[in-house]
């Protein structure tokens, strides 16, 4: 059947084998925080703050680094292709010691680097500017308190150095993404002062030039959050301007904009002005930004734009959701596969014919090609991709997940 499907796509000018090559070389960065509900391993109660919230209490969440690594390793066996791990600073191996975030070092993350070496994957990293006494008032890098601001500046500086060592040891540049929750629930009197302080703090954090072969800096915007409904210091306009001026990567999170606003249309514009793009593929539902990614119109549109703009070489794709209401292994697997299937669908578009029709003003043919493509048997190509990577199909993966739940996760209850 696959050979016949290849022939059908070839009639539209689509090289299926080339699409599969691109799929195999396009990693998705798996976010570690889905596995333990953004708790981390600093000790204490691991209670979330700074506008972050995880709902649900499905049994089996990871309670230790060993358990989290075990779960991630299992998920990787269920995903075709080669991928990455996205780690937050609160997930270090602190050996039971109280290591505050302005004191973290590479040694606290060497175990994770070694894990990724064993798995044959790259790493990305994030300073954790939330769920900490120095973030209790909702302000970190933009705080008017000099001591608090310096604390978070030092944390971010150390995070960049740790990420650079990850990239150096693994032979693949780590993306260090800076997101801060800074904002206010009600109307501020002076927005600009907060943004001036954030700009100055970021300048200090990024002052040391690091080898881009080891570390890539990114900054992430947000429209609003829980507890920052009226004002977020790091808005899209702020970070768009900052990334342009300083030529950092810009992170667009699919759940960080208005519920009716998609990020797909931003991609072609942003890439005219910034060197690289970081995507946090997520799914917003009303005021919550972090539902499990689905094979839906928004995700498909994001991947279509990346392919149509030839932007994959300049784009880092990561996931960002945390759902504790369902099996966490299933959440990872379903979300990652949805992103991958959306990418495959984009790669199977008859781009040459679509562009030729558009350039000649034949919009009727362009529209028909879009409709024809929707009915093409892309799922046969997806199953072939899974088979070539010795991974199960979607439904087969669910059986593996249920077996793992019975054998491993249920023992954690």
**Which of the residues are catalytic?**
179, 220, 222, 253, 256, 280, 288, 290, 320
- Please compute Rg for the chain using Cα positions: 21
Helix (H, G, I), strand (E, B) or coil at 337: helix
CA–CA distance, 35 with 14 (Å, rounded to integer): 38
Question: HSE (CB half, 13 Å, CA atoms) of 350?
Answer: 24
Number of residues that make up the chain: 413
Strand pairing report for 315-319 and 215-220? unpaired
CA–CA distance, 279 with 55 (Å, rounded to integer): 24
Q: Name 287's bridge partners.
A: none
CA–CA distance, 252 with 106 (Å, rounded to integer): 27
Cβ-Cβ contacts under 8 Å for 401 (sequence gap 6 or more):
78, 327, 329, 330, 333
CA–CA distance, 33 with 318 (Å, rounded to integer): 12
Strand pairing report for 288-291 and 283-285? antiparallel
User: Contact, 127 vs 155, CB < 8 A?
Assistant: yes
CA–CA distance, 119 with 122 (Å, rounded to integer): 9
Which residue is associated with the tokens 């998609």? 262
């Amino acid at each position: 059947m696959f050979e016949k499907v290849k022939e059908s796509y070839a009639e539209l000018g689509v090289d299926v084998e080339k699409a599969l090559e691109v799929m195999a070389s396009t990693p998705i960065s798996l976010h570690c925080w889905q596995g333990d509900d953004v708790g981390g391993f600093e000790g204490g109660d691991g209670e979330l703050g700074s506008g972050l919230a995880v709902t649900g209490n499905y049994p089996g969440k990871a309670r230790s680094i060993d358990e989290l690594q075990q779960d991630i390793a299992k998920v990787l066996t269920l995903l075709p292709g080669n991928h990455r791990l996205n780690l937050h600073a609160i997930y270090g191996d602190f050996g039971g010691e109280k290591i505050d975030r302005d004191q973290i070092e590479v040694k606290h993350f060497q175990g994770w680097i070694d894990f990724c070496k064993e798995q044959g994957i790259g790493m990305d990293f994030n300073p954790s500017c939330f769920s900490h006494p120095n973030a209790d008032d909702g302000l970190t890098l933009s705080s008017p308190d000099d001591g608090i601001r310096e604390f978070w500046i030092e944390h971010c500086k150390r995070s960049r150095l740790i990420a650079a060592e990850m990239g150096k040891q693994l032979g693949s540049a780590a993306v260090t993404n800076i997101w801060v929750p800074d904002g206010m629930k009600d109307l501020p009197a002076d927005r600009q002062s907060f943004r001036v302080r954030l700009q100055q703090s970021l300048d200090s954090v990024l002052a040391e030039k690091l080898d881009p072969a080891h570390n890539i800096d990114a900054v992430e915007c947000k429209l609003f959050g829980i507890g920052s409904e009226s004002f977020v210091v790091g808005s899209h306009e702020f970070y768009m301007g900052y990334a342009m001026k300083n030529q950092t990567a810009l992170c667009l999170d699919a759940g960080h904009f208005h519920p009716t606003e998609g990020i797909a249309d931003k991609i072609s514009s942003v890439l005219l002005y910034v060197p690289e793009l970081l995507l946090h593929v997520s799914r917003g539902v009303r005021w919550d930004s972090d539902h499990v990614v689905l094979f839906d119109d928004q995700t498909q549109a994001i991947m279509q734009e990346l392919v149509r703009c030839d932007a994959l070489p300049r784009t880092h794709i990561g996931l960002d959701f945390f759902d504790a209401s369902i099996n966490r292994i299933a959440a990872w697997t379903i979300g990652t596969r949805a992103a991958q299937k959306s990418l495959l669908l984009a790669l199977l578009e008859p781009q040459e014919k679509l562009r030729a029709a558009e350039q000649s003003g034949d919009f009727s043919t362009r529209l028909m090609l879009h409709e024809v493509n929707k009915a093409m048997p892309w799922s046969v190509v997806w199953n072939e991709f899974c088979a070539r990577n010795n991974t199960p199909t979607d439904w087969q993966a669910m059986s593996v997940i249920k077996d793992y739940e019975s054998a491993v996760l249920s023992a954690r209850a």
